[in-house]
Amino acid sequence: MDRMAEFLAMGNYGGYVWPTYILAAVILVGLAIQSRRWLRNEERAVRAMEAEAPHRRAAAASGSARGETAR
Amino acid sequence: MIQRLANPARFNRLAGRTMPWLAWGAALCIGAALWLALAVSPADYQQGEAVRIMYVHVPAAWMALVAYAFVALASAGGLVWKHPLAHVAAQAAAPVGAAFTFLCLVTGSLWGKPMWGTWWVWDARLTSVLVLFFLYLGFIALTAAFDEPQRGERAAAILALVGVVNVPVIKFSVDWWNTLHQPASVMKMSGPAIHPSMLWPLLLMALGFTLYFGAVVLVRMKALLLARRARAMAMAQVHRAAPAAAEPGSAHG
């Protein structure tokens, strides 16, 4: 228990060391989750549009000549 | 290789295959680095336990610069060679770079308070990194600032290229000006200047951050490509549904 308390105290720098690691975790994990969720949403949106009107696939494919719309 | 990736379908396949390796590699490296940084590496003889802030701060600072170099190179690729994925790569990477820069600034503050006695000083190193952060924000804002996405990505790419002058300023700021920030001390011309027990967690964390950057950028690139596809499909629908309405209105509008 004492060793744990000592570890958490970080030689009285705990108030600076732990926020550093917690902030890093929050930022990195948060950005990863947000990116993943964004990708899922876009995948769902594109799938829904394709399902709604399958002939639209042709229209989207014609846009791919500009090299930016096709998967 | 880069030319072959111009085909978005091929890019998607390759990204899908690469992403899990990058993500797991990042988790492994960062996990090992955390253990070494917090439990194994010794306290510094001057800084005590506060030195452990370094294992986040320094790799975050490296990544802030690496990510900016990536954004600038991709922007150049988009402006000069018109590679179809280049602007997408730049736009995917900018928020990740901004996140690392923010992390670098805040952890620097958390390190500065106990070591220098202040959260912030307007010295060359700190100010130039703050400028880097604003460059990222400007880039992100510009990509979204125009109705026509192509104009936004061009404007942002030009900003990214102009901002490249800031990179050597950051790197050499500690040599050119008197700053509170210490000069480069991990790698010197004569080789590593810190003990292996501190070097290993630092390098592992840097590798983990790099793999993380790769994984997140790939996910964001895929999302951006899908968003463009959805937009193109929606526009095609509008044009088909109401061709007359899509015509420009009367000239004296």
pLDDT per residue as tens digits for the range A7-35:
888 888 888 999 999 999 999 999 999 99
The pLDDT assigned to B8 comes to: 78
| Cβ–Cβ gap B233/A56 under 8 Å | yes
B202 vs B236, more confident: B202
Cα–Cα distance between B60 and B106 in angstroms, integer?
10
Residue in A29, A49, A69 to test binding to B, most B beta-carbons within 10 Å: A69
Half-sphere exposure of A65 (CA within 13 A, CB side): 4
Cα–Cα distance between B231 and B208 in angstroms, integer?
35
Beta carbons of A42 and B223 less than 8 angstroms apart: yes
| Three-state DSSP state, B48 | strand
Q: B residues 150-189 near A, CB within 8 Å?
A: none
Mind giving me the DSSP string for A19-49?
HHHHHHHHHHHHHHHHHHHHHHHHHHHHHHH
Taking the domains of chain A in order of start, what are their residue ranges?
A: 2-66
- Chain A hits for B52, CB-CB cut-off 8 Å, are 10, 13, 17, 20
Mean pLDDT of B6-25: 90
Beta carbons of B161 and B76 less than 8 angstroms apart: yes
Cα–Cα distance between B38 and B100 in angstroms, integer?
20
pLDDT per residue as tens digits for the range A54-67:
654 555 555 444 44
Beta carbons of B161 and B75 less than 8 angstroms apart: yes
Q: How far is CA B131 from CA B58, B62, B163, B182, B228, in A?
A: 18, 15, 9, 19, 30
Distance from CA of B238 to the nearest CA of A (A): 11
The pLDDT assigned to B178 comes to: 77
Helix axis angle for A14-52 and B54-80, nearest 10°, is 30
pLDDT per residue as tens digits for the range B29-78:
999 999 999 988 888 888 888 899 999 999 999 999 999 999 999 999 99
- From A9, which residue of chain B is nearest by alpha-carbon distance? B49
CB-based burial label for B57 (10 Å; 0-12, 13-18, 19+): buried
The pLDDT assigned to B251 comes to: 46
pLDDT per residue as tens digits for the range B123-164:
889 999 999 999 999 999 999 888 888 899 999 999 999 999
Mean pLDDT of chain B: 88
The pLDDT assigned to B158 comes to: 95
Report the residue count for chain A.
71
pLDDT beyond 90 at B25: yes
Cα–Cα distance between B236 and B9 in angstroms, integer?
20
The pair of structure tokens assigned to B242 is: 């109401």
In the block, tokens 């829904």 appear at: A48
The pLDDT assigned to B7 comes to: 76
The pair of structure tokens assigned to B123 is: 């010295």
Cα–Cα distance between B231 and A59 in angstroms, integer?
12
| Cβ–Cβ gap B111/A20 under 8 Å | yes
Cα–Cα distance between B56 and A22 in angstroms, integer?
10
